[in-house]
């Protein structure tokens, strides 16, 4: 007992030190102290990652899945097409826009109902219109996301985000999907809609976005769009875009325990991004030299710049890295290689030499001929004087 009494404080001190080291390590990995399990802050236009917490952890997205469904539908479908609602769509669980079997609705209206009011029934109607059934839709949208947007850790089983163990994504992939979608003006308009009058066979109302930062219940300057999500397995999820007039940002938070926590995390991300970063442009034609090889920019290129300055590094294969002073890579740009002008060596053959000599020979002959004419003229003149 005495022995244990003696070593007890030592063990306690070691445990406290280990606990402190873990806390310091966690704070270093997440200095903003976010409550969400995963998060990413990206420049909306350049895809520069400005802040990340577990960005590549595969998690359930819940209804933020509908961002992908919306941009896929906008690009593949025709917005004025009339979609006939099926019984399968009507019988979906969760949030709906209360569609009726056989009801005919324009595709754009379904996309609006899906994004603004998170209608699970509208999402299924869209999937069946695009690809015939949900299974084929899942196959096609996964291919679309990989080949068109370049995601690497996403697999969707349905268009609405209702729970499925094989339906997952990451904070990084969701940010890339949102950034891609925001370049489409139709998507950006719907994503930023706060209120929309809705007239349906079974439901006449005004749709109101569920995103409280977007609709102003939790005011934040510059919010341009947003989509909420929740299931028991996914917990709280959120996608939000904002613009301060200089730089556009996209914030994704996944697996948050509290409804307000995801908004608080989003505000922290935006506070950090707007304070620390700005947008600038690399001008067309700007040149960079590496190992005597010259590279240049084909067009004006927007970049994300740390307010404390950036470092530009070019690799031997012409990839320009935009880095912070601490070495963190913000963005990479592929440069164009400037091919050196070939040196032309003229090799003259005998015939060409002869041709080159002709002008000189002709000139000499001409001078001699002129001299002979002058001599004859003088002789004739003297002879005339004698007579």
160 Cβ contact partners less than 8 Å away, ≥ 6 residues apart: 63, 65, 66, 69, 92, 94, 114, 120, 123, 124
Which of these is catalytic: 35, 53, 66, 235? 66
Count the Cβ atoms, other than its own, within 10 Å of residue 17.
10
Which of these is catalytic: 35, 36, 53, 63? 63
Distance CA 382, CA 305 (A): 94
Distance CA 75, CA 25 (A): 44
Contact by Cβ (8 Å): 64, 239: yes
Task: Give the HSE-up count for residue 248: Cα atoms under 13 Å, Cβ half-sphere.
Answer: 15
Distance CA 226, CA 252 (A): 10
Strand partners, 75: none
Q: 250 in helix, strand or coil? A: strand
Contact by Cβ (8 Å): 78, 114: no
Which of these is catalytic: 86, 118, 138, 256? 118
Contacts 24+ apart (CB under 8 A), 180-188: 180/71, 180/148, 180/149, 181/67, 181/68, 181/70, 181/71, 182/44, 182/225, 182/241, 182/248, 182/250, 184/71, 184/74, 184/75, 186/74, 186/79, 186/108, 187/70, 187/71, 187/74, 188/224, 188/225
What is the DSSP annotation of 58-105?
-B--GGGHHHHHHHHHHHHS-TT-EEEPPHHHHT--SS-----TT-EE
| Residue 19 annotated as catalytic | no
| Residue 118 annotated as catalytic | yes
| Residue 382 annotated as catalytic | no
Distance CA 213, CA 226 (A): 8
- What dihedral angle (degrees, nearest 10) is formed by the CA atoms of 96, 132, 149, 114? -10
Dihedral of alpha carbons 364, 368, 373, 375, sign:
positive
Residues annotated catalytic, as ranges: 63, 66, 118
């Amino acid at each position: 007992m005495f022995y244990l009494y003696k070593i007890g404080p030592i063990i306690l001190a070691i445990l406290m030190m280990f606990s402190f080291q873990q806390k310091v390590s966690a704070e270093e990995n997440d200095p903003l102290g976010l409550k969400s399990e995963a998060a990413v802050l990206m420049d909306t236009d350049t895809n520069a990652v400005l802040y990340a917490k577990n960005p590549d952890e595969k998690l359930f997205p819940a209804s933020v899945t509908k961002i992908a469904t919306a941009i896929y539908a906008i690009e593949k479908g025709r917005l004025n097409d009339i979609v006939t609602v099926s019984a399968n769509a009507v019988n979906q669980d969760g949030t709906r826009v209360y569609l009726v079997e056989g009801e005919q609705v324009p595709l754009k209206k379904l996309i609006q109902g899906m994004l603004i009011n998170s209608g699970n029934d509208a999402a299924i109607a869209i999937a069946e219109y695009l690809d015939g059934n949900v299974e084929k839709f899942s196959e096609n949208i996964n291919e679309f996301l990989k080949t068109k947007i370049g995601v690497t850790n996403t697999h969707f089983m349905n268009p609405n985000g209702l729970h499925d163990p094989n339906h997952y994504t990451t904070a990084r992939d969701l940010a890339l999907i949102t950034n891609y979608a925001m370049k489409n003006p139709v998507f950006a308009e719907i994503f930023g809609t706060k209120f929309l009058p809705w007239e349906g066979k079974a439901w006449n109302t005004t749709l109101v976005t569920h995103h409280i930062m977007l609709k102003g219940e939790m005011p934040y300057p510059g919010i341009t769009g947003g989509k909420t999500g929740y299931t028991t397995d996914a917990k709280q999820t959120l996608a939000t875009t904002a613009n301060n007039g200089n730089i556009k940002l996209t914030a994704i938070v996944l697996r948050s325990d509290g409804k307000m926590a995801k908004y608080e995390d989003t505000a922290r991300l935006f506070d950090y991004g707007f304070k620390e970063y700005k947008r600038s442009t690399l001008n067309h034609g700007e040149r960079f030299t590496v190992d005597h090889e010259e590279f240049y920019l084909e067009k004006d290129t927007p970049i994300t710049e740390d307010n404390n300055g950036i470092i530009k590094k070019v690799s031997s294969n012409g990839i320009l890295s935009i880095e912070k002073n601490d070495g963190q890579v913000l963005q990479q740009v592929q440069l164009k290689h400037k091919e050196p002008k070939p040196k032309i060596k003229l090799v003259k053959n005998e015939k060409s030499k002869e041709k080159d000599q002709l002008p000189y020979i002709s000139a000499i002959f001409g001078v001699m001929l002129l001299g002979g004419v002058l001599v004859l003229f003088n002789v004739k003149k003297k002879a005339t004087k004698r007579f």
